Amino acid sequence: MIEIRWHGRGGQGAVTSVELLALAAIDEGNYAQGFPSFGPERRGAPVEAFNRVDNHQIKLRSRIYNPDVVVVLDESLVTLVNVAAGLKPEGVLIVNTSSSADEVRKTLGFKGKVATVDATRIAREELGVTITNTTMLGALVKVTQAVKLSSLKEPVEHRFGRIADKNLKVLKRAYEEVRVG
């Protein structure tokens, strides 16, 4: 089983990415969970969301305390929230940043595996807005192989309708541009 914790801000689409990943995993014949963890936070407040993907039935129903992967949609959260808390020693931290993996490690005092992608730049160039959820989903898929990139096509098309092509484009660009340091 792979367990993933997403960090974002309200309105950035972390919950949408969680749902898209779960749908893609299920379409591949796997079992998946996708769920948010937030209360009455307003737009812009830090939020968390979670995924579990496995080829066996998932009976756990709790939040994820020791993820295999942490995805950070908003670079400012790196210094605001302990995004690496509980991350398994062999896990990976995937951050939306123009900084290098070494710079992220230094900022966090983190010694583990870090992957970086400038999702904000990609989203701005392709979508015209800096909403990075589908962009970071592409980075996650490349780093983890939790699902096939092609398995996200149908869920993205269903969710985004007329702007699905743009979202598929940012997803693919992040898949190609993510770097593991």
119: domain range?
Answer: 2-180
Give the number of domains in the chain: 1
Q: How confident is the model at residue 40 (pLDDT cuts 50, 70, 90)?
A: low
State if pTM tops 0.75.
yes
41 pLDDT more than 70: no
Identify the bridge partners of residue 66 per DSSP, sorted by sequence position.
Answer: none
Provide the mean pLDDT of the chain: 94
What's the rounded mean pLDDT across residues 153-168?
A: 97
DSSP state letters, 85-140:
TT--TT-EEEEE-SS-HHHHHHHHT--SEEEEE-HHHHHHHHHSS---HHHHHHHH
Using CB atoms within 10 A of its CB, is residue 60 exposed (0-12), middle (13-18) or buried (19+)? exposed
Q: How confident is the model at residue 61 (pLDDT cuts 50, 70, 90)?
A: confident
Helices 164-177 and 153-160: crossing angle in degrees, nearest 10, is 140
38 pLDDT more than 80: no
Nearest to 155 by CA among 26, 20, 34, 11: 20
Q: What are the pLDDT digits (tens) for 85-107? A: 999 999 999 999 999 999 999 99
Contact 105, 111 (CB under 8 A): yes
Task: Express as a percent the part of the chain with pLDDT over 90.
Answer: 86
Q: What CATH number does residue 22 fall under? A: 3.40.920.10
Q: How confident is the model at residue 181 (pLDDT cuts 50, 70, 90)?
A: confident
75 pLDDT more than 90: yes
Q: What pLDDT is recorded for position 116?
A: 98
